[in-house]
Amino acid sequence: MRFRRIALTAALIALVPVAVSYLQAMAKPSNSSLGIRSVEWLRENGGAGIVSKIESIYYSLTAPSKGGPTLKALPNVGYATGTGPHGHGGSTSSAAGTPTISTYRPPNVAPILHPALPGEGVWSSAIPNAGPYPPILVTTLRNLTEYPRTLAGLAWIDQTRSRVSYIPGLSEPAVEMPRGSAEVPLAGRSRLLATFNSGFKLSDSGGGVVAGGHTYAPMHDGLATLVGYRDGHTDVIAWNYGARAPSSVVFARQNLPLIVNHSAVNPNLNDGPEWGATLGNAILVWRSAIGVDAHGNLIYLAGNYQTVRSLADTLLHAGAVRAMELDINSYWVSFILYGLPGAHDPHNLLPDMNRSAYRYLEPDDRDFFAVYAK
């Protein structure tokens, strides 16, 4: 009996540091739910394998059945001539007349499933009254033939009419660095067009990060990187500058290897080991990715029930020559559009995106990107 009391006391004493660590983590500023923060704490304190196994089982059990009826209509995204907010169609015209920066507009994305639904793959302006060459175009597409009810959202970002900024979150990247406001700065909201999620935690991706021209976590050659340069353009590349960013780089965020390179899908997507412990590459789950087309413009993709392969195939189909996976899981994937100046009329690219459209207008745990009109 005495031995049992001693063992119980020892066990309770051993749990004290664990309890303190958990309570301290829960007391930090955060806009994530208690459940999400608890899972993240477990990941960071020796339970990553358990969490990933449970998630894999859950997503396998909740995956949609193959085949079955297709969608009857697509959700409304974007703005079209003669329609209200979020209607399908081409870009609007405006009294401004001839564009002054770029006259390139990407071709519509060819439907993958047939017959095509109205508006499928057709680019429409992300903001009203943007003229014939909007800075951001959006569309939706059924991108998986085996799952005809699965939908992907696409956003094309004209880099001649916009610029991208990187904003660290309250807790990610988990390195010593200036945090700023961890939200879209008030001073920049008058020209805000869109915001979108970053990549995995650095501890999961094994990558580095650069912000404000300073390298806060060592960069790794060969990893996929969303990089912003001092001349104002942003690119998706396989990093080859070494551990520290050169002076030409303003921001850089790494996440796994490229999924598309040289206009071809990474051959290791099906069975490669480099996709980390966060649900691997084949589990059907909310995923996001970003690529760059042959004209240097960005293409963002997100959708539920996606695999790494479906991201790569779809971005290649939409015109990307290079692409990288960003974050996954419904709680972390966000692409938010702002229909009116001053960050007004925020709305998610897809209606079933989990987080509020006001997510990045308040301090957020994770780092993210903001797109501004030039």
Amino acid at site 352:
D
Residue 102 domain flag: no
Which domain does 8 fall in, by range? Answer: 2-61
Contact indicator for 266, 302 with CB cutoff of 8 Å: no
| pLDDT value of position 6 | 66
CB 143 within 8 A of CB 318: no
Residues in a beta bridge with 348: 336
> pLDDT value at position 269?
85
144/260 same-domain check: yes
On whether both 214 and 328 belong to a single domain, the answer is yes
Residue 339 belongs to a domain = yes
DSSP class of residue 74? P
pTM assigned to the model? 0.88
Final residue before a domain boundary, out of 61, 90, 105: 61
| Strand partners of residue 164 | 371
The H-or-E segment that residue 321 falls in is: strand 320-328
Contact of 136 with 157, CB cutoff 8 Å:
yes
In a domain, 108, yes or no: no
pLDDT in tens, 328-338: 999 999 999 99
Pairwise CA distance, residues 121 & 282, whole Å:
25
Residue 51 counted as domain residue? yes
In terms of residues, how long is the chain?
Answer: 374
- Name residues whose C-beta falls within 8 Å of residue 367's C-beta, 6 or more positions apart in sequence: 166, 167, 168, 169, 172, 173, 198, 209, 253
What is the Cα–Cα distance from 88 to 140, expressed in whole angstroms? Answer: 10
Q: List, for residues 100-116, the tens digit of each pLDDT value.
A: 477 899 999 999 999 99
> Could you tell me which of 212, 311, 215 has the C-alpha nearest to residue 257?
311
Q: CA-CA-CA-CA torsion for 50, 33, 346, 134, nearest 10 degrees?
A: -20
Listed in sequence order, the DSSP H helices in the chain are 2-27, 34-42, 48-61, 202-205, 308-317
Do residue 204 and residue 339 come from a single domain? Answer: yes
Asked, for residue 93, whether it belongs to a domain, the answer is no
Residue 177 burial (10 A CB sphere; 0-12, 13-18, 19+): middle
Whether 73 is in a domain gets the answer: no
Same domain, 260 and 365: yes
Q: Which residues of the chain have pLDDT under 50?
A: 81-100
Query: Contact 333/289 with Cβ under 8 angstroms?
Result: no
Give a yes or no: residue 319 inside a domain.
yes
Domain count, the chain: 2
Q: Tell me: the pLDDT tens digits for 261-271?
A: 999 999 988 76
Q: Please give the Cα distance from 292 to 374 (Å, whole number).
A: 19
Please give the Cα distance from 250 to 188 (Å, whole number).
Answer: 17
Whole-number pLDDT of residue 81: 40
Q: Where a domain ends, among 45, 61, 77?
A: 61
Is residue 199 assigned to a domain?
yes
Burial group, residue 241, by CB count within 10 angstroms (0-12, 13-18, 19+): middle
Query: For position 95, what pLDDT does the model report?
Result: 35
